[in-house]
Every structure is written in structure tokens, then in C-alpha cells.
Structure 1
Amino acid sequence: MKRNYLSHICVYITSTLLLASCGTSQYLDLYAPEESGLNVMKITDESSNTVMGNRASKFVIKKNFTISTIAGCEKANYYWTTNKLLSISPNGDELAYLSEINKQNNIMIRKAGAQGASTQRTFRNVLDFSWGNDDNLYFSDFSDTQRIQIGATNAHAGSIMRQLTNNSVDINPVITTDGKLLFFTRIDKSGPFIWSLNLEDGALTSCARGYNPCIINGNNDSFICVRNSTAGISEIWLVNYVEGKETLILSDKNRGFSNPVISPNGQWILCQGNSESSITKKNNLDLFAVKLDGTGFIQLTYHPADDCSPVWSEDGKYIYFISSRANKDDYFNIWRIRFDLE
């Protein structure tokens, strides 16, 4: 029974992530008309990089939606994977992304500019990851097909992996700014929950229901996360698990949201969600921003291709993300746009 459950979860998480191409894009421009002021820049080239991205999922079981880590919107009948697939170095000079190498997904590192080669930094089978302020890469390791565990390795030196958790399904690792706590998503039969691991004494704490944890700089008592509601939408929540306070930040009956990240100044939450393209009249993934208090909601991208896995530049002036735009074969690449809001 345990093996069947784990097998179902693993297929659920990985089935669409492993696709490098899915259909053919009908709109090959760099940007949509609504994006004319974003200074859209392409960072990687599909001829020399295989970049993994979040894809629309074909494996959603609606009765289990509230206990899954597949995000979506039931009204739009649109769902997608939520793995963290792009991260930026603490100094903002480098980007890390997942690439398929020898039938495994591993973390690659490259300069944040449009030129430069990539270096492989893991030699496992990685589902998702983040880059900590301590210059370590924290990732969910799927090398053992019977379980998914959290591991860590230095972003620039050696290939030694430290195993940090020992459970059936642990994903979405993020480390606090001071390097003391590791938040991650643990999945069992009751659904996804955010846990914390104290890296100093090894203490494990179950914090709250949800997935896609996002740290708040200087605040180890709270985090941002995603929850799938009984109304059939994915929502962004602020959780103070020490005081037991939970606040709904972003919810829309026509859209779901996932993969939140907080701006360097702590004022904005960046995320991905579904929207209907004015060009194709079909739903796809776009990028959105909302202030931490739930005001100032804005849609940033409008391209009919999928835009996903956003991260902030160190100064908060740019957003890096993964997109299948401007590509006739629908391959993903890393792109950059400017963020001008205060």
C-alpha cells in the first residue's frame, strides 16, 4: 500500500515536468502587445540548453485537488505543476536551473547575463530546488525511486551531497536568511504540509497545511505558501505558525496562483497563475505581482506561451523567469523583464 501511494505521488509530480516540448506555439514574437514596456530579454538558447519548466498537467484528479501540489483553477479547467525550477545566487550574478542530462534532471549554473556557458552542479535526479544565502543548493532528490528526500550541496565546490530529510515525499526546500531553518513541503495521504527543519539541532516541526513555502526575510516565524481550496482554486496565504495566524493574500475565482517569491524590499509577492490570452483565447501561465498586504494586484506578462518559476534580481529591478515564448517547438528558456513598480 505504501509503495502504491508513493508511486502515485511521484507520477503526479514528475509526469509533466519531464516534457521538454508540448505542442507547437502559434505566436512567435518575443512579447505580447501588452508587454511593450517590459524590456523582454532572452537569456538562454535552446540549441545549447535544455531548460525545464512548469507544464499544464493532464493528471489532475479533481476530487483530490485540495490535497495535491498541482495548482490550478477548476472554473478555467486549467492546472499545472509547481516545482521550483529557477533560482538566483545570493549576489545576483548567477542563475541556477534544471536541465535534463543523461535522462536525469540536474541543476545547472550560469551567469545571469545573456552570454556564458553552464556548469552542472548536481549528479542526482532533482525535482526542484532553491539557492540559499549560505551558497548551498537545497534540492529534492529523486534518485531513489522509492522516496523523495531533501539534500544539499555547495553551489561552486565539489559534488558531496548532504541528506537532510528521510521521508517518502519531501519537496520545495527553502532556507531562511540566517541559515537556521529549512522550510519544505512534506506530502502524505492527508496532503501537503509545510515543515521546518532546524539545521542547528535537527528538530522537525509541522507548521501548517500548504506547499510552495516562501521565506520572509528576517522573519523565521512566518512564511508565504500555496493552498488548494475546496472551491477549486490555488490561493496564496501568509502563515505565522508560531502565533497561529493565517491570512489569505490572493484569491480569484477565475485564476489559480502558485510559486510565490517575495521581492528584496519585502513589499511584493511575485507568482505564476493562469490567464486567458487575448491572442489565442486559451488559458496559459503568466506572471503576477501583489503587495504583501494583498493590495496592488497586477498582471505582468500576457504572452500566450507559458511563463513560470519567477525569481527577483538582487536589487528587485528585474524578474527572471522560464518561458516557452518565441519558440516554434515550444521549448523553455530563461528570460528577463524589468519591474518598475515601487
Structure 2
Amino acid sequence: MQEEVGLNLRKITDDNLSLGHIYTTKPYSFQSSIIGCSAKQRFYWTTFRRMDISPDGNELAYINISDKKGNVMIRKTTSISAATQRTFRNVGSVSWGSDDKIYYADYTNGSNSKICVINSHAGSVMQQITNAASDDDPILAADGKTLFFTRYEGNGGASIWAYNLEDGTLISCARGYNPWPVGDSNEEFLCVRNTARGQSEIWLVNYVKGQETLILSDEERGFTNPTMSPDGKWIVCEGNSKSSVSRKQNLDLFAVRIDGTQFTQLTYHPAMDCCPVFSKDGKTLYFLSNRSQKKTIHCNIWSMKFPF
């Protein structure tokens, strides 16, 4: 694509990973949904985080679907490497904590989902952390003891919760989903909120001080899966866009400063680009994409230069 010149795009995997279906049906209620949405464009997508990077930046954890079950795989960030399966359950989302443990949502018991954790490299002992009906998108804060996650309660909507790994304290923080911790404390996070008119927005929330700031909103687009650059200056997320080639809506990657300025579209391919994650030096973005694939559910891991 002409607009992607200079990004040094590189396919990391040669095997066809199975991402699962990204498209979804129109949610019954936008505000109480955890579905990415741009109702104006009649475009809706699933928002599970399917990939994260190791604390040392040398490996990627991602979800691959086989035999109708998703499991966590680990491989080097280099283009030639074998993958190791780390879970044998049915996983919906994954993150890699600074404690070198893999946190994930376990969907083994049908539609119910629990937050669980496993050692990233040794053994297969699984620890269950939550036991509610629908918990997802776990991610560890910088303090190493606060685990944020999304709890979905049907018509009650989605909200961000905080679990203290040391004493088991559980706190309801704010409305939203797709949490991403901000800064060195455990007080702030980015999250996604859906409006009543069907539009996914990126918010910055300090639940301790009660401060909530709208960072990214667009009448033509929805945005989900925010991730922050290591220097704390940039947010990269996925959002819908109309391809100039196919003339159809798809998912692309977007960047915006933490103060909401300098909004920039990064990718323009007519395929689905999603689940961005930064390298530890902030110079590279890894993401999942079905570009070069014939089916939406098949994808590869790609890398690109972060241009800022």
C-alpha cells in the first residue's frame, strides 16, 4: 500500500494462525456491550486481546485456535522460530505480566469465563483468580500486584475491576472494557466505552481521583484495544476504516498522543489489522493481520516500524 511506505512491514510467522472470526453481529445494546462498534458504518468486531510481549521483549504470547479451542502459544520475536503451546484449555484473551506470568481468560466451561494465570515457561499448573460468570482481558499494572480486568454483567454492561494479587481485595473501578494500565501507579488506565449511539471511544480513567478524560472519539469510527508506548507518550489502537482499494470497512491501526492530539492512521491495508503491542524500546509495533490470507479467520503476526 502506498500509504504504508517506510513502515518496514515484515511478516513474522509463516504458518497460518487461526484468529477466529473478527466480524460479529450487531449488539443488542451498544452501551452494555463489549463489542467494538461503529454503528454509523454498520461495522462491529470482537475486542479480545489476542497477543502480548514478554517482559524482556524477546517473545510473543498469542492465541491460536485449533479444533474450536483457543490456546496460548509462545514464540520468539524473530521471524524464524518454533512456537510452544502453554495452555490446554479454551482461552479468550491473554497478557504477559511483568512478573513473567501469563494471565488469560479461560472459556473452557462454555460461555462462562474466569481469569487464570500460568507460569510462562515451566509446568502446566493453572491458578484460577476469579470465579464470576464473565471476566476477561486481564492485565497486570506496573506495581506488579494489581490485576485489572473486564467484568461483563449482561444488561448491567461492562466494567473494569482491580484484583489485588497479594490480599485478594476486589474493587469495581469504572465503566468500560479493554483496560490498559498507565504510569507507574495502579490508579490510572485506558479503557474503551461504547456510547448509546453505537460508537467505541478511548478513555483515560483515574479511578482513585475520580477523573475521567475522553481521549479518542470519531463519528465515523470506533476504537478498541488501546496499548501505550513504553515512554507513555503514545496510544496505539485498532479502529474501523474504509479501504480505498476494496471500498469496504475493515480494521486498521491508529496512533494518538496521550493528550488526544496528533491522531494518525498507521495502516491502510483492506485486510484486518488488530491487537497491536509495542516492542520494549518503542520502535516496533507487532500486530495480527490476515493480509496475504484468503480467509478472515486466518492470520499471521506482523511487525512494523513505529513512525514517531
Shorter-normalised TM range = over 0.9
User: What is aligned with 1:338?
Assistant: 305
Q: Are residues 1:50 and 2:17 paired?
A: yes
Residue type at the aligned position of 1:71: G
Structure 2 residue aligned with 1:293: 259
Aligned-partner Cα distance in 1 for 2:256–2:102: 27
**What SS does structure 1 have at the residue aligned with 2:187?**
strand
What stretches of structure 2 of length at least 5 have no aligned partner? none
Is this contact kept in 1: 2:20–2:65, CA < 8 A? no
Check if 1:64 corresponds to 2:29: yes
In the TM superposition, 1:109-120 aligns within 5 A as 109-120=74-85
Match 1:126 to one of 84, 87, 91 = 91
In the alignment, the residues of structure 2 paired with residue 87 and residue 167 of structure 1 have an alpha-carbon distance, to the nearest angstrom, of 24
- Residue in 1 aligned with 2:183? 217
1:200 paired residue number: 166
User: Which shows bigger deviation, 171-180 or 100-109?
Assistant: 100-109
Deviations 1:79-128 (A, max 9, x none): 10000001110111001111123432100000001101000001111000
Distance 1:60 1:186 in 2: 20
Cα distance in 2, alignment partners of residues 229 and 203 from structure 1:
30
Letter in 1 for 2:146: L
Deviation, 1:146, is: 5.7
Q: CA deviation at 1:306?
A: 0.4
Match of 1:157 in 2: 122
Q: Distance in 2 between matches of 1:219 and 1:247?
A: 18
SS at match of 1:75: helix
Alignment of 1:254-265 (within 5 A): 254-265=220-231
Name the CA distance, whole Å, in 2 between partners of 1:187 and 1:245.
22
Q: Matches of 2:295 and 2:208 in 1, distance apart?
A: 48
Task: Give the C-alpha shift of residue 53 in structure 1.
Answer: 5.6
Aligned counterpart, 1:101? 66
Specify whether residues 146 and 259 from structure 1 end up closer, same or farther in structure 2 by C-alpha distance, changes over 3 A only: closer
Conserved 8 A contact 2:49-2:275: yes
Could you report, residue by residue, the CA deviation over 1:254-282 in whole angstroms, capped at 9, with x for unpaired residues? 00000000100000001000001111111
SS in 2 for 1:64: coil
Amino acid at match of 2:131: N
Q: Secondary structure at the match of 2:167?
A: coil
The match for 2:8 is 39
Task: Note if contact 2:143-2:185 (Cα within 8 Å) is conserved in structure 1.
Answer: no
Unaligned runs of 5+ in 1: 1-31
Residue 284 of structure 1: aligned partner: 250
Q: Secondary structure at the match of 2:17?
A: coil
Identity, % of aligned positions: 53
On the 8 A contact 1:51/1:97 being kept in 2, the answer is: no
Q: State the superposition RMSD in angstroms.
A: 1.2
Segment drifting more, 213-222 vs 119-128: 213-222
In 2, the alpha carbon distance for the partners of 1:131 and 1:306 equals 23
- Using structure 1 for the length normalisation, give the TM-score: 0.87
Shift of 1:157: 0.6
Shift of residue 54, structure 1, vs aligned partner: 6.2
**How far, CA to CA, are the matches of 1:81 and 1:175 in structure 2?**
22
In structure 2, the partner of 1:16 is none
Once the 2 structures are TM-superposed, how far is the Cα of residue 216 of structure 1 from its aligned partner?
A: 1.1
Distance 1:170 1:244, change over 3 A: same
Is the contact between residue 54 and residue 82 of structure 1 (CA under 8 Å) also seen in structure 2? no
Distance 1:209 1:194 in 2: 6
**Rounded Cα–Cα distance in structure 2 between residues aligned with 1:103 and 1:229:** 32
Alignment of 1:58-97 (within 5 A): 59-61=25-27, 63-97=28-62
CA deviation vs aligned residue, 1:222-262 (integer Å, no higher than 9, x gap)? 10000001121000000010111100000000000000001
Aligned to 2:240: 274
In 1, Cα distance between equivalents of 2:281 and 2:55: 11
Instruction: Give the partner amino acid of 1:199.
Output: L
TM-score by length of structure 2 reads 0.97
The answer to whether the 8 Å contact 1:186/1:193 transfers is yes
Q: Give, as a single letter, the amino acid of the residue that structure 2 aligns with 1:38.
A: L
Normalized per residue, which structure has more strand? Answer: 2
